[in-house]
Amino acid sequence: MAIRLGDIAPDFKAITTEGEINFHEWLGNSWGILFSHPADFTPVCTTELGTVSKLQNEFKNRNVKTIALSVDSLESHHNWVKDINETQNTVVNFPIIADPIFEVSKLYDMIHPNASDKFTVRSVFIIGADKKVKLTLTYPASTGRNFDEILRVIDSLQLTANYSVATPANWKNGEDVVIAPSIKDEEIAAKFPKGYSRIKPYLRLTPQPNL
Ligand code: BEZ
């Protein structure tokens, strides 16, 4: 069955480039991003893993651990990492799961047989510190993902988990946010001391509260 928002991210054991892991134990108290790519030694995937490696400080600042997956072998992953480091001018600094018998990819529905029954699509699962799935994304093999967008989503998810706000279209960290419809006008002054603007009864903006 498909994994839905709010579900507990399924736990699993796996072999990775950084040793054997138990997923929930590996996550610990961190948020997590589990993302699949179709295959090792392919161009788009090479740029994606290089990009995630270079963004590692951004993920760490947000208490997020990243872990990649493909159905290639551990030996293949280790060999490919050398190419990623060389061509992307980085040192891959997060684990890559080897899933040659499709255990994790089937558990997370990363194989879409009408796209390919041999390779995983580009899935992304953002998992909160409570182990619940906060966001899912699915991209085809031909389109590399925008990891700046994934950082932006994490900023929104972590902000909205702690304050009664939502983030509007194209919002970026530091911009005004929307006050949740569940908050009554008379409650706003206490909850949002930086003030607010009331454009419509249902559209009320306030400065980002955690800055
Ligand atoms: C790539 O990563 O470049 C790729 C992988 C599978 C199919 C097409 C492109």
| pLDDT digit string, tens, across residues 16-46 | 999 999 999 999 999 999 999 999 999 999 9
Same domain flag for 151 and 174:
no
Residue 180 in any domain: the answer is: yes
Residues 202 and 99 in one domain: no
Question: What is the domain-level CATH number for residue 93?
Answer: 3.40.30.10
User: If you measure from the C-alpha of residue 39 to the centroid of ligand 1, how many angstroms do you get, rounded to a whole number?
Assistant: 7
How many other C-beta atoms are found inside a 10 Å radius of the C-beta of residue 160?
16
Inside any domain, residue 8: no
Residues 175 and 86 in one domain: no
pLDDT digits (tens, 9 = 90+) for 68-124: 999 999 999 999 999 999 999 999 999 999 999 999 999 999 999 999 999 999 999
Q: Which secondary-structure segment (H or E) carries 114?
A: none
Q: What is the 38 CA–ligand 1 centroid distance (Å)?
A: 6
Per-residue model confidence as pLDDT tens digits over 132-154: 999 999 999 999 999 999 999 99
> Do 168 and 114 sit in the same domain of this protein?
no
Please name the residue ranges forming H helices in 71-211.
Answer: 74-88, 103-107, 147-162, 185-191
3-class DSSP state of 175: coil
Please state, in angstroms and rounded to a whole number, the distance separating the CA atoms of residues 166 and 169.
10
Domain range for 182 is 163-206
Dihedral sign (CA 162, 165, 171, 176): negative
Q: Is the overall model pTM greater than 0.85, yes or no?
A: yes
Strand order in the sheet with 122-127: 19-22, 13-16, 96-98, 64-70, 31-36, 122-127, 133-139
Quote the number of domains for the chain: 2
In a domain, 2, yes or no: no
Mutate to test the pocket of ligand 1, among 142, 143, 145 (most ligand atoms within 8 A of CB): 142
Q: Is the CB of 38 under 6 A from ligand 1?
A: yes
Q: 7 lies in a domain? A: no
43 C-beta closer than 6 A to ligand 1: yes
- Is 86 in the same domain as 188? no
> Which residues make Cβ contacts (< 8 Å) with residue 170, sequence separation at least 6?
none
